[in-house]
């Protein structure tokens, strides 16, 4: 543990991911990963040998989890906030994943300029959910950037995902259902065809508050609606499915 502390800066903490002994560095006052990232890592159907890009990686949670769960060959992960990108880089080094994961500090709006066009098999992204018309912005800028479209829009994320994907490459995104029409419009505009969708409901009798989507570049029009994910059986009691997916991080 003393060696692990050498990777930490003041006020940071080290969280055990409960898989392959991997850990992640986070700052309690910055944006820490939540259930949405874990659900997306379970939904993404990555294949052996895939080259994957994570747009808006934050502290690197998605590539680290997916490196533990899948046989994808390599992950590039883009993050615009230098502090978050630095934490992600140190987590990669701590877990000895530097040959598998490459963290880049840069702008999603220029992802295809940074990495090139048509080179990835898959893109994963947990982008900001809210635009300027939705909700109050967090006064702490790192959290505000993660939650609101301050530095990139939904269209930016989808446009750049399409640009970096190979033909028939897959995009995996988690977002809010109230923006579903906008999401589908943007996917279609950028030649990404929705192929799988799964709603996440807080309770079985409540409307969904998250949606997981897989889209395929230049894919044929047909979509599969998967069984919904229900988070709670009763208040404070997670469903068996959530415990299986998210249980180690609770």
Q: Angle at the Cα of 48 (from 43 to 49), degrees rounded to 5?
A: 120
* Cα distance between the two ends of the chain: 22
- Position with higher pLDDT, 234 vs 144: 234
8 A C-beta contact, residue 175 and residue 213 = yes
**For tokens 């090139």, what's the residue?**
116
Vertex 92 angle, CA 15 and 58, to 5°: 70
Q: Is the pLDDT of residue 232 over 90?
A: yes
Tokens 């994943």 locate to 97
Average pLDDT score over residue span 73-82: 96
For residues 201-207, give the mean pLDDT. Answer: 97
Largest CA distance in the chain: 54
Q: Which tokens go with 113?
A: 């300029």
Radius of gyration of the chain from its Cα atoms, rounded to whole angstroms: 17
**Mean pLDDT over residues 198-203, rounded?**
97
Question: What is the reported pLDDT for 2?
Answer: 52
User: Across-strand partners of 229?
Assistant: 200
Compute the average pLDDT of residues 60-85. Answer: 96
Say if residues 81 and 87 touch (Cβ distance below 8 Å).
Answer: no
Domains of the chain: 2-249 (3.40.50.150)
For residue 74, give every residue at least 6 positions away whose Cβ sits within 8 Å of its Cβ, in sequence order, or none: 51, 52, 100, 101, 102
Q: What are phi and psi of 79, to 5 degrees?
A: -145, 130
Beta strands in the chain (DSSP E): 13-16, 23-26, 51-55, 74-79, 101-105, 120-125, 165-175, 192-201, 210-217, 224-225, 229-230, 232-234, 237-238
Residue 195: phi and psi, rounded to 5, are -120, -30
What is residue 130's DSSP assignment?
Answer: B
Token pair in block for residue 74: 């390599």
Q: What is the pLDDT of residue 250?
A: 66
Question: What per-residue confidence (pLDDT) applies to 145?
Answer: 45
Segment 143-166, tens digit of pLDDT = 454 454 556 899 999 999 999 999
Q: Residue 134: is its pLDDT beyond 50?
A: no
Nearest 5°: phi and psi at 174?
Answer: -115, 140
* Contact criterion met (CB below 8 Å) for 131 and 150: no
Q: Is 117's pLDDT higher than 70?
A: yes
């Amino acid at each position: 543990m003393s060696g692990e502390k050498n990777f930490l800066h003041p006020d940071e903490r080290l969280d055990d991911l409960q898989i392959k002994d991997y850990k992640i560095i986070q700052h309690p006052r910055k944006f820490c990963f939540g259930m949405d990232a874990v659900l997306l890592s379970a939904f993404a159907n990555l294949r052996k040998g895939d080259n994957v890009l994570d747009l808006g990686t934050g502290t690197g949670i998605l590539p680290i989890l997916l490196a533990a769960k899948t046989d994808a060959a390599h992950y590039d992960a883009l993050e615009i906030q230098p502090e978050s990108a630095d934490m992600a880089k140190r987590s990669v080094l701590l877990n000895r994943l530097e040959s598998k994961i490459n963290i880049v500090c840069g702008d999603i709006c220029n992802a295809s300029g940074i990495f090139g066009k048509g080179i990835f098999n898959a893109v994963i992204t947990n982008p900001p959910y809210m635009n300027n018309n939705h909700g109050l912005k967090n006064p702490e800028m790192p959290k505000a950037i993660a939650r609101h479209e301050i530095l990139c829009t939904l269209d930016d994320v989808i446009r750049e995902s399409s640009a970096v994907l190979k033909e028939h490459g897959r995009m995996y995104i988690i977002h809010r259902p109230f923006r579903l029409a906008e999401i589908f419009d943007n996917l279609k505009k950028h030649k990404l065809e929705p192929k799988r969708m799964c709603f996440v409901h807080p309770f079985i009798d409540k409307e969904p508050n998250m949606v997981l989507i897989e889209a395929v570049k230049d894919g044929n029009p047909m979509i599969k609606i998967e069984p919904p994910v229900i988070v709670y059986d009763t208040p404070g009691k997670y469903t068996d499915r959530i415990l299986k997916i998210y249980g180690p991080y609770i």
